[in-house]
Chain A
Amino acid sequence: MDPDTDIGGPLHKFPVTNQSAIVGARSDDQVVRRRAFDTILAGYWKPAYKYIRLKWQADNEDAKDLTQGFFANAFEKNHFAAYDAGKASFQTFLRTCLDGFVSNERKAGRRLKRGGDMDHYQLDFASAEDELASHASSTLSPEEYFHREWVRWMFTLAVDALRRRCDESGRAVHFQLFERYDLNDDNVSYASLAAEFGLEQATVNNYLAAARRDFRRIVLEKLREITATDEEFRTEARSLLGVDVK
């Protein structure tokens, strides 16, 4: 098939299932804006922290303050509302803003102190530090590193959401199978899982397929939340998943 085939009509549209937080960040309604900001914060704080540690060679305390400061400043001054989807992806925009913020802070010789008059977010920096320690060396450029960590964080959040959904819907076994087969590094077979869980192999097949289907849906929902337009959504889906999502 050739991608340049021009198909008219609405078929390119992927159904909008979630409100975009990027769009919400432009809202005049403070509540909507706060909710949108929380979504952006949840989706980006960890890649941002690791990026500051790697690119800006900040120590962990400095990186924590800069991460907190960056997001607090962005919310206070409504920086994310200035995002133009026609110019770059939101991810690139946020990284550029982050670079600008850290650069300015360094030039000004400031050291942000937590607990001041700025917002303070409860972020699990300890886990980010543990992860950094386990894969500190990298041949990637800082930009590639930021992207990869963003992808990792997106999938981590999706896994967490899948776990919650499975627990809430009484399908804990679905998630346990998914965890054993798709998340753990040890090699297990459908047959060994069937024996371990006391299930038919066909049932393992079905449960895993259902869990993967839900996982895919969650990933796309999260992606939809942090992209502004259909085009950006598709571009990020290509970048995140390696496939076209129409």
Chain B
Amino acid sequence: MKWLSDDRLNHLRSIVGNPDFSSTKYRFVKELGSGGMGTVYLAEDTELDRLVAIKVLNTPEVTDDLRNRMIREAQIIARLEHPGIVPVHDVGTLPDGRIYYAMKFVRGSRLDEYAAQGVSLRDRLRKFQAVCDAVAFAHAHGVIHRDLKPQNIMIGSFGEVLVLDWGIAKVRPRMNTDEHRSEINPCSSVSIRGNTSHGTVIGTRDYMAPEQARGEIDQLDERADVYSLGAVLDFLLKDQPKVGKAANAIRLKAMAREKESRYVSASELSADIGRLLDAEPVTAYRENALEKVGRWVSKNRFLVLLVLAYLLMRIIFIFTSRP
């Protein structure tokens, strides 16, 4: 038997543990993370000389079902061409039969890491709105993410927001336009993981809508993602000293236990966040007269200061010009 040096031992570990990219244009760099279905590796695209993230099925025992799910996941993400959704570059098969797909390698921080850097409330809300917009885009294409959480949201080096890990997303049939009809599988309303049966709980508990936590797979719609977005907002607001009643009301409406009480869509939620940022009245909160004035003053602070300064000058003028 051949003696294996430590160096050879490490080499063999990498051969066995890491995917064999030898028949592809990619070169293995390191493992980035592992999830329920696949592991994501950092690899170098030797043709285009750039780094990419490659997701590879975990199991070496590839069934047609698993292979189809993985391809489906890649197709779904590829269909979602949006600045807030990580683009898929390529899909293929490794020598051991495992499916992989290559996507953009996002440099930056996860949303939870980003929030820990002492970011202002306004910046948090801006990033959150960008997340809502990306999710709204996916909803418009019939895709429900089902696992939205800070760990699945990346803030890139230039402040761009990207929603990751569509591994348990669900595709719903859409009936609104002919264009949409032509894009979807007529028998869809399936999960990337295959036809998830009723009663199966998928997602992450802390960010999961109540109906999702109950395993009511058939009942899940876009409002399940709205709930998760509300939980993400809750995460972003929880350590903020002064949140405000309107922001709190948006959070509560998004996280309503009954889905009928939530925002109908992520775009509605995004619109309310936009109003909050613009100091406009939000749909989630009915202001009293005093609050309306307070918001107006807050929004028109410069004008108010100008008027006050003018009035002060007038008063000073009146008093100083008396004989």
Which A residues have a C-beta under 8 Å from some C-beta of B? 1-9, 11-12, 14-15, 17, 127, 130-131, 134-135, 148, 151-152, 155-156, 159-160, 179, 182-185, 205-206, 208-210, 212-213, 215-217, 219-220, 240-246
Q: Are A14 and B204 in contact (CB-based, < 8 A)?
A: no
Q: Are B1 and A209 in contact (CB-based, < 8 A)?
A: no
Chain A CB within 8 A of B183 CB: no
Q: Are A127 and B1 in contact (CB-based, < 8 A)?
A: yes
Query: Taking chain B's interface residues, is the majority helix, strand, or loop, or is none over half, making it mixed?
Result: loop
Q: Given the known A-B contacts A1-B165, A7-B193, A15-B61, are A213 and B1 also in contact in the complex, defined by CB atoms under 8 Å?
A: no
Q: How many A-B residue pairs have CB under 8 A?
A: 147
Chain A CB within 8 A of B201 CB: yes
Q: Given the known A-B contacts A14-B59, A159-B4, A244-B58, are A212 and B15 also in contact in the complex, defined by CB atoms under 8 Å?
A: yes
Q: Are A246 and B58 in contact (CB-based, < 8 A)?
A: yes
Stretch at the interface among B29-37, B135-143, B274-282: B29-37
Residue among B4, B37, B96, B164 making CB contact with A7, cutoff 8 Å: B37
Q: Are B61 and A156 in contact (CB-based, < 8 A)?
A: no
Residue among A6, A216, A244 making CB contact with B39, cutoff 8 Å: A244
Q: Are A5 and B147 in contact (CB-based, < 8 A)?
A: yes
Q: Which 4 A-B pairs have the closest CB atoms?
A: A1-B35, A241-B17, A7-B36, A209-B95
Q: Are A219 and B2 in contact (CB-based, < 8 A)?
A: no
Chain A CB within 8 A of B231 CB: no
Give A166 Cβ to nearest chain B Cβ, in Å: 14
Chain A CB within 8 A of B64 CB: no
Chain A CB within 8 A of B316 CB: no
28 pairs, A vs B, C-beta closer than 8 Å: A1-B39, A2-B204, A5-B147, A5-B168, A6-B202, A6-B204, A8-B202, A9-B193, A11-B37, A12-B36, A14-B61, A151-B13, A156-B2, A156-B3, A156-B4, A159-B4, A160-B1, A182-B11, A183-B8, A185-B5, A208-B22, A209-B23, A212-B20, A216-B96, A217-B60, A242-B17, A243-B31, A246-B36
- Residues from chain B with Cβ under 8 Å of A215 in the complex: 12, 15-16
- Residues from chain B with Cβ under 8 Å of A135 in the complex: 6
Cα–Cα distance between A15 and B147 once the two chains are bound (Å): 27
Query: Which residues 145-175 of B sit at the A interface, judged by CB distance below 8 A?
Result: 147, 149, 151-152, 164-165, 167-168
